[in-house]
């Protein structure tokens, strides 16, 4: 009998213990919060900052609506305040719901702010539990406020999903890079690497006749035009989607020191092993007598190209050693590709043609990667490829590594690059049949 009473008392106690656990610990319902999809930061007056909150409208997103009507699925609130969370308090006093960042996909910082330093902003985001470590970081070449105001998703109703897919497009384009809050913070604080962030801007062309001016400028700067030789905001494309993501902002410490175009970013992905499966265009090897890789001399209409689907075969190898006061950095890259198209008549599918193509692609990429690394050394003076990490492992004591001052040594570095490319597939065509004799032209 006593055992039964004890069991009954224990059951009642356990039952009563569940009641305090049945409610939300913070007593806030989901529909009582305003979810910020993207946060923009611009420079304000008198030391203040201008904060742009792009907030999702749950009814519009949940019910549906017209694709591209971002003004219905989101609302933009702009406030000037001395601190981020001071601005949050001001916004909370104006709207009926509490601001929440747990579903924020993009933090957008203007170039003007980034050049002065972003450490205090990054530390504030990392410290606050509502910001997830995988929140994306972007640098706006113009004002962040203008970018968020111009965002108009075309193929996606949900604005959060749009930003999520928008920021991972580098996996199949090669024109941007992994740009997450935690990843940026770790590189900013690291003594053997430097951070980068996605470069964003508004692409505001209204007519294709405007393309000529930007193409001429790109050719003047680079000596040739290619599909990746652009930065966000300067891409020759017309679309209802005004937002563009191409290039990277380069940092030294917490300050932005330069920009890379899409082609530079491709080389960055190759060296760091982040390259996915991307489309890659290069001149036809048979035309190399007319124009050298990267120079593209000769008549525009005579140029022929080969397009590949390029990817990483295995992770690149980076070895760093010191020769006196000069760092010697050896980079070995292993890539593989599939042939997508050949403009000329030469068959590169098998035999000697395949060997010629593989050697040409290897030399072409080697030259581009070497020029990219030299650019990080001479122009940016920033080790964004983490080439100092292998050298760091050779130091037994942390104090010795800090006293070594790797970042001061990097501008003196010498690079040795080795690239090997294997073309594994030629598409659904087994060989290419030349038709020049049928066109009345001599081969």
pLDDT given at position 354: 87
Report, as an integer, the average pLDDT of 150-156.
82
Task: Report residue 173's pLDDT band, with 50, 70 and 90 as the boundaries.
Answer: very high
Domain segments of the chain: what residues?
A: 29-260, 269-443
Give 12 or 401, the one with higher predicted confidence.
401
pLDDT given at position 159: 84
Q: Are 376 and 384 in contact (CB under 8 A)?
A: yes
Give 288 or 157, the one with higher predicted confidence.
157
HSE-CB of 267 using CA atoms within 13 angstroms: 24
Q: Are 181 and 133 in contact (CB under 8 A)?
A: yes
Task: Report residue 21's pLDDT band, with 50, 70 and 90 as the boundaries.
Answer: low
* pLDDT single digits (tens) 77-97: 999 999 999 999 999 999 888
In the sheet where 414-425 sits, what is the strand order?
278-283, 305-323, 326-342, 414-425
Evaluate if residue 291 carries a pLDDT over 50. no
* pLDDT single digits (tens) 46-70: 889 999 999 988 765 554 445 444 4
Evaluate if residue 34 carries a pLDDT over 50. yes
Task: Report residue 26's pLDDT band, with 50, 70 and 90 as the boundaries.
Answer: low
Percent of the chain with pLDDT over 90: 57
pLDDT given at position 293: 44
Task: Report residue 296's pLDDT band, with 50, 70 and 90 as the boundaries.
Answer: very low
Report, as an integer, the average pLDDT of 233-262.
90
Q: What is the average pLDDT score of the chain?
A: 85
* pLDDT single digits (tens) 378-431: 999 999 999 999 999 999 999 999 999 999 999 999 999 999 999 988 776 666
Tell me the pairing of strands 106-110 and 33-43: parallel
Q: Where are the beta strands (DSSP E) in 173-277?
A: 196-202, 243-252, 255-260
Per-residue DSSP letter, 378: I
Tokens of 400: 């010795």
Alpha helices in 315-381 (DSSP H): 351-375
Distance CA 25, CA 3 (A): 36
Give 305 or 336, the one with higher predicted confidence.
336
pLDDT given at position 42: 95
Beta-carbon contacts of residue 126 (< 8 Å; ≥ 6 apart) = 181, 182, 185
Give 315 or 61, the one with higher predicted confidence.
315
In 3D space, the residue among 181, 172, 78 whose CA is nearest the CA of residue 128 turns out to be: 181
Percent of the chain with pLDDT over 70: 82
Distance CA 304, CA 424 (A): 22
Evaluate if residue 294 carries a pLDDT over 70. no
Distance CA 212, CA 215 (A): 5
Report, as an integer, the average pLDDT of 271-293.
79
Give 210 or 39, the one with higher predicted confidence.
39
Q: Which CATH architecture has domain 269-443?
A: 2-Layer Sandwich (3.30)
The DSSP H or E segment spanning 237 is none
pLDDT given at position 288: 60
pLDDT given at position 290: 45
One-character DSSP codes across 69-127: -HHHHEEEEEEEESSHHHHHHHHHTTSSSEEE-TT--EEEEEHHHHHH--HHHHHHHHH
Task: Report residue 220's pLDDT band, with 50, 70 and 90 as the boundaries.
Answer: low
* pLDDT single digits (tens) 113-141: 999 999 999 999 999 999 999 999 999 99
Evaluate if residue 373 carries a pLDDT over 60. yes
In 3D space, the residue among 286, 17, 254, 54 whose CA is nearest the CA of residue 139 turns out to be: 254
pTM of the model: 0.85
Helix axes 119-127, 181-189, angle to 10 degrees: 130
In 3D space, the residue among 115, 108, 104, 32 whose CA is nearest the CA of residue 74 turns out to be: 104
Tokens of 399: 């104090």
């Amino acid at each position: 009998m006593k055992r039964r009473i004890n069991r009954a008392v224990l059951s009642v106690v356990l039952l009563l213990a569940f009641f305090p656990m049945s409610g939300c610990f913070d007593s806030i319902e989901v529909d009582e919060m305003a979810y910020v999809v993207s946060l923009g930061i611009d420079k304000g007056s008198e030391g203040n900052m201008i904060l742009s909150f792009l907030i999702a409208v749950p009814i519009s997103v949940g019910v549906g609506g017209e694709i591209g009507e971002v003004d219905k699925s989101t609302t933009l609130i702009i406030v000037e305040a001395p601190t981020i969370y001071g601005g949050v308090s001001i916004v909370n006093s104006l709207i009926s719901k509490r601001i929440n960042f747990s579903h924020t996909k993009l933090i957008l910082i203007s170039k003007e702010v980034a050049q002065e330093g972003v450490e205090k902003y990054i530390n504030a985001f990392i410290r606050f539990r509502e910001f997830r470590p995988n929140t994306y970081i972007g640098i706006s070449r113009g004002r962040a406020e203008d970018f968020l105001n111009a965002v108009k998703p075309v193929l996606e109703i949900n604005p959060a999903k749009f930003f999520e897919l928008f920021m991972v497009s580098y996996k199949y384009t090669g024109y941007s890079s992994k740009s997450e809050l935690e990843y940026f913070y770790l590189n900013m604080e690291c003594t053997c690497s430097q951070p980068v962030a996605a470069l964003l801007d508004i692409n505001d062309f209204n007519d294709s006749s405007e393309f000529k001016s930007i193409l001429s400028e790109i050719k003047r700067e680079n000596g040739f035009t290619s599909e990746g030789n652009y930065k966000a905001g300067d891409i020759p494309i017309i679309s209802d989607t005004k937002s563009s993501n191409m290039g990277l902002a380069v940092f030294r410490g917490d300050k932005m020191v330069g920009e890379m175009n899409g082609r530079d970013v491709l080389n960055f992905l190759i060296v760091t092993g982040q390259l996915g499966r991307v489309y890659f265009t290069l001149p036809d090897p048979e035309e190399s007598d007319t124009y050298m890789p990267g120079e593209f001399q000769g008549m525009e209409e005579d140029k022929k190209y080969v397009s590949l689907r390029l990817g990483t075969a295995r992770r690149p190898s980076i070895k760093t050693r010191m020769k006196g006061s000069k760092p010697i950095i050896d980079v070995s890259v292993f890539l593989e590709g599939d042939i997508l198209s050949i403009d000329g008549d030469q068959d590169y599918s098998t035999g000697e043609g395949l060997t010629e193509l593989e050697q040409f692609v290897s030399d072409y990429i080697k030259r581009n990667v070497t020029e990219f690394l030299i650019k990080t050394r001479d122009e940016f003076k920033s080790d964004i490829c983490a080439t100092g990490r292998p050298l760091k492992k050779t130091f037994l004591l942390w104090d010795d590594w800090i006293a070594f001052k790797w970042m001061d040594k990097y501008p003196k570095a010498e690079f040795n690059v080795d690239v090997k490319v294997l073309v594994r597939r030629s598409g659904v065509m087994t060989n290419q049949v030349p038709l020049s004799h049928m066109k009345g032209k001599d081969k």
